[in-house]
Structure 1
């Protein structure tokens, strides 16, 4: 089953074309990694999928529903899509538990007791049960990012979008988040992640998509894209990554 379908997606900022007729399909339980140089459109694509940016052309479908139809309520669509950004965006005046339960209670109308039980279950699964009543400034960067991911997951999203979720972390903390995403993959969570961490993409993705010029220039299994890229531009990009010691 196809969960996400992007067809002819175009997004322009001023005179800069960021997405130029991009096509992408994501199947149920699939983990797709978006790679490419800065400015290739990875983060913009995720923001368009979550309806944080309005398309200039093209369509996006979620489970067959045309979610970029102007008549669609974007808030209802976002209830089915979880998104996690590079910045953790946790409310500093709230405990971990309060951060995680805020949306289920306020937005989704989940009874507070049920929301707390679900949040505690998720925090336990990712090894953060003992941090439920701590404030964000008492957590490491890796712990804060795991809380941010849990906050997106408690709403049982159909699709999880991860935007450079490891890039703000110290190298020794990246493993914490990587391990969590591996577990989510094992649970069958459908994910699209944008990343500059090639090793991260290679380890967790079922499919890697190389974006260039606002389009998916090349895609395939990680080993094929990284070891035997078909496109000259992909080879050029990866050679610079290798020179920088990032692959």
Structure 2
């Protein structure tokens, strides 16, 4: 890959909000049915141009937290704010909110009958009403910068898993999101392809993109995150800077989790 990845960078929203968080969760609670509590009174703040990593065992609530932040899941209590605006208010324009948040899932979710270029430009053209020529120029620029310059006309089944995931990231960036949510984006990849996707995230961090990522890549979280949150049973049990949380965790449950990760050779 060459060059850098253009992001939203500093915006008028930053100037208006100062150092106010881009994303804030206040006492967010999410249940499935009567007895399954997935998120328990979660509080979280994500500052502009920072990376927050969510770690924890499978089923701890990481993915649900991201889905709630993008309003793909309806919360049962609490509130979520984007740049100070309560997006969980029933009067909020859900479509307008989602236009400001990019999401990349572990499954690439590319349309198999569309070319790479059409996958990327669909939302800018249909949702944001960006002229085709402008949307395609943006797509070509991003593809080139992510090492996919010759793949615009290819169909997803002609790409490797790592290439498909990079296309999914390009698709999320094409709409110039305020916030990028990444949900286990390397989980479905062969080990040899993980590095190329993580390199993209590293580049996005360097360019100032605000991100929240759920990951099992502990070494990567330690390297790129400004804030790490350990979830257990739907609760953010511990949070802190990477050097603190990975080097000197305060909670016994955090220490147990990290010890298993170390024994598995993943940290």
Match of 1:22 in 2: 42
Q: How does 1:30-109 map to 2 (within 5 A)?
A: 30-109=50-129
2:207 to 187, 194, 197: 187
Alpha-carbon separation, structure 2, partners of 1:219 and 1:112: 43
What is the deviation of 1:206?
1.2
TM-score normalised by structure 1 residue count? 0.99
1:20-51 deviation line (CA, Å, top 9, x unaligned): 00000000000000001111110000000000
Question: Are 2:152 and 1:142 equivalent residues in the alignment?
Answer: no
Can you list the C-alpha shifts for 1:57-83, whole angstroms capped at 9, x where unaligned? 000000000000011121110000000
- Given that residues 23 and 215 in structure 1 are in contact (C-alpha distance below 8 angstroms), is that contact kept between their aligned partners in structure 2? no
Residue aligned with 1:105, SS: helix
Q: Given the alignment, which residue of 238, 244, 263 partners 1:218?
A: 238
Match runs of 1:116-135 below 5 Å: 116-135=136-155
Q: Where does the alignment leave 5 or more consecutive residues of structure 1 unmatched?
A: none
**Cα distance in 2, alignment partners of residues 203 and 131 from structure 1:** 30
Cα deviations across residues 147-202 of structure 1 (Å, max 9, x unaligned)? 00010001010000000000110111000011100100011000000011111211
SS at 2:192 equivalent: helix
Q: TM-score, normalised by structure 2?
A: 0.91
Matching residue of 1:239: 259
SS of 1:147's partner is helix
Aligned residues: 247
What is the CA–CA distance in structure 2 between the aligned matches of 1:42 and 1:147, rounded to whole Å? 23
Give, in whole Å, the separation in 2 of the partners of 1:132 and 1:200: 29
